[in-house]
Amino acid sequence: MSSLQVNLRAKVFPGVAQAPPHHALASIKLTIKHGQFACITGPSGCGKTTLLNVLAGLDHDYDGEIHLPLISEHQQPVVGYVFQAPRLLPWRTVEQNLTLIKDRSASTADVGELLGLTGLTDFCHAYPERLSTGMQRRLALARAFVVEPDLLLLDEPFASLDEATAARLRLLLLEIWRRHSTTVIFVTHDLREAIQLGQRIIRLTGAPAKVDLDMPIPLNPAERLDTQVIEAWRTRILEVG
């Protein structure tokens, strides 16, 4: 059981054609304990997704060091990533979308149980394009858990959903996270969502982006459902900025 350690000095996108190089991320130092649920907020376009892609190992072109958390049984860190779009395989059924990914990892996760938790059992033989957006997002969430990740990255996974559906999915995410006790990095531009979910809020601002706020959110599950508590914390955080 190790923690996630980020020691990023800079992330620069080289200029294309006439455009100058884009300095996306400045120095970012973070340590996130094993099993912690951390939310990263900040205005859109500030580099949140860039940071996630670096953590996911999709982008190796950066200056710094990243140490991913590792559960002792795993040979190498396993990452689950819920992208902004669900990114499912439309030509494979709901169930196949999970089993295909699971077969590639040493996971012992129960596909049937995850389908049940996400309310997709009745649709396990359906193709993703026939599902509603909310169901597609639930499937993307189930896929991220089916590999039993050491680190779970979520990039505004509930954006573009109506508030009721998003609220249900947030509860679902918390429930699965408690069962699997994985380290979570949840990116959102919605501060209320961050307060409701996160044990810790990290805010990125500026260009290149750096951490301008890193605050623990010591709330119990009941308080997280209380809109007044959330509004109070929101005001507090906005005052700090």
Partner 1 sequence: MPTPANLWWSLISLLVLLGLWYLGASFADSRVLPGPLVVLSVLIEGVGSGEVPYHLAVTLARVAASFVLAMSIGVAVGIAMGRLLGLNRFLDSWLIFFLNLPALVTIILCYVWFGLIEVAAVLAVAINKIPNVVVTVREGARALDRDLDEMCRVYRLSGMARLRHVILPQLSPYLFASVRSGLALIWKIVLVVELLGRSNGIGFQLSVFFQMFDVANILAYSIAFIVVVQIIEWLGLRPLETALNRWRR
Query: Where on the chain is the footprint of partner 1 (CB under 8 A)?
Result: 56-58, 79-81, 83, 85, 87, 89-92, 100-101, 103-105, 127-130, 143, 147
Q: Which residue's CB is nearer to partner 1, number 153 or number 237?
A: 153
Q: Which residue's CB is nearer to partner 1, number 38 or number 147?
A: 147
Element (H, E) at 182: none
Cα 156–chain centre separation: 7
Shortest approach of partner 1 to residue 217 CB, angstroms?
Answer: 27
Q: Which two tokens stand for residue 104?
A: 């590639």
Shortest approach of partner 1 to residue 100 CB, angstroms?
Answer: 6
Shortest approach of partner 1 to residue 17 CB, angstroms?
Answer: 17
| Of 220, 214, 209, nearest in space to 237 by CA | 214
81 forms bridges with which residues in the sheet? 153
Shortest approach of partner 1 to residue 221 CB, angstroms?
Answer: 30
Shortest approach of partner 1 to residue 160 CB, angstroms?
Answer: 16
Q: Which two tokens stand for residue 80?
A: 């689950």
Shortest approach of partner 1 to residue 129 CB, angstroms?
Answer: 5
Q: Which two tokens stand for residue 36?
A: 């912690």
Q: Which two tokens stand for residue 30?
A: 């973070």
- Alpha-carbon span 124 to 15, nearest angstrom: 45
214 forms bridges with which residues in the sheet? 202
Q: Which residue's CB is nearer to partner 1, number 32 or number 153?
A: 153
**Number of other CB atoms surrounding residue 69 within 10 Å:** 23
- Alpha-carbon span 228 to 148, nearest angstrom: 35
Q: Which residue's CB is nearer to partner 1, number 114 or number 217?
A: 114
46 forms bridges with which residues in the sheet? none
Shortest approach of partner 1 to residue 10 CB, angstroms?
Answer: 22
Q: Which residue's CB is nearer to partner 1, number 17 or number 164?
A: 17
3-state SS assignment for residue 151: strand
Q: Which residue's CB is nearer to partner 1, number 108 or number 235?
A: 108
Q: Which residue's CB is nearer to partner 1, number 74 or number 168?
A: 74
For residue 51, give every residue at least 6 positions away whose Cβ sits within 8 Å of its Cβ, in sequence order, or none. Answer: 8, 11, 25, 28, 40, 187, 204, 209
